[in-house]
Amino acid sequence: MENCVFCRIVRDEAPAYFVYRGHGVSVFLDIYPVETGHMLIVPDEHFESLHDTPPRVAAKLFAVAAALVRILRNELGAPGVNVITNSGRPAGQEVFHVHVHVIPRWKGGGWRRLVSRHRLTEVEALDFINRIKPYTGIIEEYLNNVFGEGT
Please, what is the minimum distance in Å from the beta carbon of residue 145 to ligand AMP? 28
| 10 vs 29, beta carbon nearer Zn ion | 10
* Contact with Zn ion (CB under 5 A) among 6, 28, 128, 142: 6
The Cβ of residue 134 has, within 10 Å, a number of other Cβ atoms equal to 11
Report which secondary-structure segment, H or E, holds 20.
Answer: strand 18-22
| 28 vs 128, beta carbon nearer Zn ion | 28
Please give the residue ranges that form the binding site for ligand AMP (CB under 6 A): 5, 14, 16, 30-32, 40, 86, 92-95, 116
| 4 vs 66, beta carbon nearer ligand AMP | 4
Q: At what angle do helices 137-147 and 55-70 cross, to 10 degrees?
A: 140
Of 2-10, 16-24, 48-56, 140-148, the window that binds Zn ion (rule: CB under 5 A) is 2-10
C-alpha span between 96 and 47 (Å, rounded): 8
Intra-chain end-to-end CA distance of the chain, in Å: 23
Paired residues of 14 in beta bridges: none
101 is an active site residue: no
The closest residue (CB) to Zn ion is 4
List b or e across 89-104, with b for residues whose CB sees 16 or more CB atoms inside 10 angstroms.
eeeebeebbbbbbbbb
Please, what is the minimum distance in Å from the beta carbon of residue 22 to ligand AMP? 19
Binding residues vs Zn ion (CB under 5 A): 1, 4, 6-7, 46, 97
Looking at the annotation, which residues are catalytic?
99
